[in-house]
Amino acid sequence: MVKVEVQEVRDEAGKVYLPPCQVRCPVGQDIQRSNVRISLLPRDEEKALKEIIALGDELYEKNPLFPICGYICGLCEADCNYKETTGAIRRRLLERFIGDHYLQYLEKEKPSLPEPKGERVALVGGGPASLMCAYMLAKRGYGCTIFEARPHLGGALNFIPRYRFPRHVLEVTLQSLVRIAHIEVRRGEKIGGNGRSLEDLKGEGFKAVFLAPGTSLPRPLTFGRQLVAGGDLEGVGFGLHLLGGVNEERIPPNYYKGKRVIVIGGGNVAFDVGRTARRLGGEVTIVCLECEDKSHKDGIPADVEEIEAGTEEGIKLIYSRGVQEILGENGKFRGIKCPRCVSVWDDHPGGRFNPQFDLNDVIYIEGDVLLVTIGQMVDRTFFSREGLLDESGRLAVDPITLMSTKREGIFIGGDARRIGFAAEAMRDGMIAAESIDRYLKGEDLREGRAREYSKAPLPEIPEYRSQPEYKWKPVPERLNFEPFEEGFALEEAIEEAQRCLHCGPCESCKGCVASDLQPELPKVEVLKELCSGCRICSSVCPHDAAKVQEENGKFTSFIDELRCKHCGVCAVACPANAITIADEVEENLSKVLAAI
């Protein structure tokens, strides 16, 4: 692998110009670049492994949790330009492919960072936000200590079912990160419990504190603004507790055999709970406020793949229903009363969660178990006691720097600040690390950090290649806690990476240079004295980079460097040989192919 420096590219309006997948990625992974490099891997497993490890090192530099993202993320796919044609690039599976091959090297061979010599920083909570923050600070030389109340690091990652996310991937990734970044971990220590305060941390010599305790409290069921009675009935519980119990092996097989299990919720976690209950023998029904049409403002938020997989596994879905009453008999749960939900979000700008119901349209659903899975809440007791809430009871945090606006040197992030995806918590960790570094150096925390982005458009090509299907085990073979989805083999990974259209600018990618195809990006020039302005170059360029302008009464071509891929199609098509491209691709490609 050739180490190259990339440049930030801005459009005419001064916005950072990137492929939409990279704009969407919370950690800013160089998706186009790594797709290029995967597409150029040797098709021999042994020869490819060296390149895979090198690529893994590149991904790890920006995101030490990328092996985990390969199983649980895929946010970038939602914005992939290919999505509206034949389907988004399967980037999650590509990242999983690299991560799975990288794990052994990560665990046994990857060298540690230099020993920390800078100030000490405390991080409260051991989830993705704190882990990312600690890594980024360790790279800058700071000593980091994570205080985690639970026995295990990982936060909410510990609740993801093992059929989706193998335990060994989590353990190897986190254990390796702790080793590599020299992170001190204090398990079983809850800051805010037993009288310990932020002042106590400062008394221990910590110069800054990052608070990312997560959302430890399941959200209770309400109707209107009132709690729904019946939560204390036998058989009523929270889905999050089930997920934790199963992953900690506290719940036996066939725990729900012969029982009717009702799950309340419409998000991915509700489907995790429902699919877990199916694997424990239950007859599962998921009931949600949202409607079936995902394009509607009140559409169900769960991923299409979760809905499809759950349906295949025998889960029944009931849409557009709330829970007005939990019904019981002799202290045991027996069912729920469900009026039709006519609206989930109101018409306020941005939409506010404000469910409305038709109380004349009611159904009753009988069951033996009720698992409420409608989200989690942060425990605000500690934040209140430490004076970190504003007058309205919300966390007072600068959205650019993540420093508390109430207390200097205290930074807040992760789900405690705003509930979201794991990668979004990782982004908070990155932002906080940058802020803490500036704070400890006495620098301006906000300067140069607010950015706007513009997204590269879809290139126009004659035919868009089909998206590969997911490879899921047949239902009878997957109703257990073994991984139900197969990853890419080498050949499949190469073919899928080759499907990527490389929408973004070359200057911020340089995957071809990193793969040693050429020493630098080639120069494309228009010889104006030869150009007739015929527009043939414009008609063949799939990226809209070859354009025509009028100058001194004559039409001539010019190359838009923002969009140009330096592919040479325009030069080949030009009948006047007015476009030249200087590169060494052919020579270098011959060398690469000969090596393969």
Instruction: For residues 225 and 204, state if they share a domain.
Output: no
Q: Look up residue 486 and give its two tokens.
A: 């197969």
Residue 393 to residue 221: CA distance in whole angstroms: 21
Reported as a pLDDT band with limits 50, 70 and 90, residue 68 is: very high
In the listed set 325, 343, 373, which residue is the last one of a domain according to the structure? 373
CATH code for the domain in which residue 151 is found: 3.50.50.60
65 within a domain of the structure (yes/no): yes
Single out the residue of 415, 483, 388, 430 nearest to residue 155, CA to CA. Answer: 415
Which helix H or strand E contains 122, and what residues bound it?
strand 120-124
In the listed set 357, 373, 389, which residue is the last one of a domain according to the structure? 373
Q: What percent of the chain has pLDDT over 70?
A: 97
pLDDT tens, 525-534? 999 999 999 9
Listed as own residue / partner, the contacts of 442-450 with beta carbons closer than 8 Å and 24 or more positions apart are: 445/398, 445/400, 445/401, 445/403, 446/398, 446/400, 446/401, 449/400, 449/401, 450/400
**From the CB of residue 156, how many other CB atoms can be counted at a distance below 10 Å?**
21
Instruction: For residues 198 and 171, state if they share a domain.
Output: yes
pLDDT tens, 112-135? 999 999 999 999 999 999 999 999
Number of domains the chain is built from: 4
Residue 233 to residue 250: CA distance in whole angstroms: 21
pLDDT higher than threshold 60 for residue 592: no
Sort strands 485-486 and 471-472 into parallel, antiparallel or unpaired: antiparallel
Residue 295 to residue 388: CA distance in whole angstroms: 38
Cβ–Cβ under 8 Å, residues 534 and 548:
no
Residue 414 to residue 231: CA distance in whole angstroms: 29
Sort strands 546-551 and 471-472 into parallel, antiparallel or unpaired: unpaired
3 within a domain of the structure (yes/no): no
Single out the residue of 507, 510, 512 nearest to residue 563, CA to CA. Answer: 507
Element counts in the chain: helices (H) and strands (E): 19, 25
State which amino acid sits at residue 198: L
476 within a domain of the structure (yes/no): yes
CATH code for the domain in which residue 67 is found: 1.10.1060
Instruction: For residues 230 and 361, state if they share a domain.
Output: yes
Q: Nearest 5 degrees, angle CA 246-CA 251-CA 256?
A: 100
Reported as a pLDDT band with limits 50, 70 and 90, residue 462 is: confident
pLDDT higher than threshold 80 for residue 290: yes
Q: Which residues pair with 461 in a beta bridge?
A: none
Instruction: For residues 56 and 130, state if they share a domain.
Output: no
Residue 434 to residue 181: CA distance in whole angstroms: 16
451 within a domain of the structure (yes/no): no
Rounded to an integer, the average pLDDT of 290-315 is 96
210 within a domain of the structure (yes/no): yes
Q: Please give the backbone phi and psi of residue 580, each rounded to the nearest 5 degrees, phi first.
A: -120, 150
Which helix H or strand E contains 144, and what residues bound it?
strand 143-148
Instruction: For residues 233 and 149, state if they share a domain.
Output: no
1 within a domain of the structure (yes/no): no
Q: Look up residue 293 and give its two tokens.
A: 């049409």
pLDDT tens, 503-541? 999 999 998 888 888 888 888 999 999 999 999 999 999
Instruction: For residues 262 and 351, state if they share a domain.
Output: yes
Sort strands 217-218 and 376-377 into parallel, antiparallel or unpaired: antiparallel
Strand extents, DSSP E, 308-452: 316-318, 325-329, 332-345, 353-366, 369-372, 376-377, 410-412
Instruction: For residues 260 and 334, state if they share a domain.
Output: yes
448 within a domain of the structure (yes/no): no
Computed over every residue of the chain, the mean pLDDT equals 94
CATH code for the domain in which residue 580 is found: 3.30.70.20
**From the CB of residue 326, how many other CB atoms can be counted at a distance below 10 Å?**
24
Cβ–Cβ under 8 Å, residues 149 and 189:
yes
Which residue range is the domain that position 103 belongs to? 16-110+456-512
pLDDT at 586: 57
Instruction: For residues 130 and 152, state if they share a domain.
Output: yes
Query: Locate tokens 């399967």: which residue?
Result: 90
pLDDT at 315: 98
Rounded to an integer, the average pLDDT of 319-345 is 97
Instruction: For residues 199 and 224, state if they share a domain.
Output: no
In the listed set 441, 469, 490, which residue is the last one of a domain according to the structure? 441
Q: Which residues pair with 16 in a beta bridge?
A: 10, 453
Q: What is the 3-state secondary structure (H, E, C) of 57-107?
A: HHHHHHCCCHHHHHHHCCHHHHHCHHHHCCCCCCHHHHHHHHHHHHHHHHH
pLDDT tens, 29-56? 999 999 999 999 999 999 999 999 999 9
Instruction: For residues 242 and 267, state if they share a domain.
Output: yes
pLDDT tens, 221-268? 999 889 999 999 999 999 999 999 999 999 999 999 999 999 999 999
Rounded to an integer, the average pLDDT of 376-392 is 92
> Which has the higher per-residue pLDDT, 153 or 595?
153
pLDDT higher than threshold 80 for residue 596: no
Q: Look up residue 303 and give its two tokens.
A: 């991923």
Instruction: For residues 155 and 169, state if they share a domain.
Output: yes
Q: Look up residue 115 and give its two tokens.
A: 């020993």
586 within a domain of the structure (yes/no): yes
Instruction: For residues 171 and 310, state if they share a domain.
Output: no
